[in-house]
Amino acid sequence: MRKKVIAANWKMNGTLEQANSLLDAFAAAPLNVNENKIAVFAVPAPYLMLAKEKLSGNPYLQVAAQNCYSKKSGAYTGEISVEILKSIGINYVVLGHSERREYFGESNAFLAEKVNISLEYGITPIFCCGEPLEIREAETQNAFVAKQLEESLFHLSAEEISKIIIAYEPIWAIGTGKTASNEQAQEMHLSIRAVLAAKYGDVANEIPILYGGSVKASSAVALFAEPDVDGGLVGGASLVADEFIKIINA
């Protein structure tokens, strides 16, 4: 059975005071998480250790970095290595978010390097893919997303790719309040799984595929009920404790 994953992406938001109160709320809330359904919190780097500490009482609450660099260590001022992440007990990293691709020029090939080093250190990549609006309007989104997967992931072995979490995030739905319909999400998730299955066979059924883009408590139940939607990557709504608790429990 493939795992359900509900991931929070705080992006570049929240002061220390706000981070403390959000983490306290999540640590105290009755959350429907277990070995088949985990919640992952991608917090800004300065709060990684704080988040680890605050959520340590529940093994099904995990902490993720929002990015990492492709090298093990060295003279790369301002970057964070997986070696550093591993040394503070971080087991997940978000890679290839559309904001990283767009504002920081991250290419599919560069992301392949980050995927490799993450897996080498036993850190699970939450690998983001998704099309911009003009691609959706041209109805070429399936091929666009397939190319992202092929160029960043398809050099991996079946065993390696079975350790990855994929997040489909249509760029036109991120932070816009305009979520993809449940049918649009399911259709793309099915397409992603078919692309994975064509290359890797049955392993495709083990890989969680999350949906991201304006997920709210009010939309989560129906969305997560789609057969190939295995959870969500949630931005804005993950910064509101009650809202994100409802999404985890959806």
- CA angle at residue 123 from 1 to 234, to 5 degrees? 65
- When asked if residue 228 is in the footprint of ligand PGA (CB under 6 A), the reply is no
When asked if residue 169 is in the footprint of ligand PGA (CB under 6 A), the reply is yes
The answer to whether 189 is a known catalytic residue is: no
**∠ Cα 163 179 244 (to 5°):** 65
Residue 144 CA to residue 172 CA, distance in Å, equals 14
Nearer to ligand PGA, 121 or 214 (CB): 214
What pairing do the DSSP bridges indicate for beta strands 4-9 and 231-234?
Answer: parallel
Sole binder of ligand PGA in the list 223, 233, 245, 248 (CB under 6 A): 233
Closest CB 9 distance from ligand PGA, rounded Å = 4
Which residue is catalytic, options 99, 106, 131, 169? 169
Binding mask 199-218 for ligand PGA (x = CB under 6 A): -------------xxxx---
Contact string 32-61 vs ligand PGA (x = CB under 6 A): ------------------------------
* CA gap 141, 169 in Å, rounded: 11
- Measured CA to CA, the distance from residue 69 to residue 139 in angstroms comes to 33
Q: Which helix (H) or strand (E) holds 62?
A: strand 61-65
Catalytic residues: 97, 169
Q: Which residues bind ligand PGA (CB under 6 A)?
A: 9, 169, 174-175, 212-215, 233-237
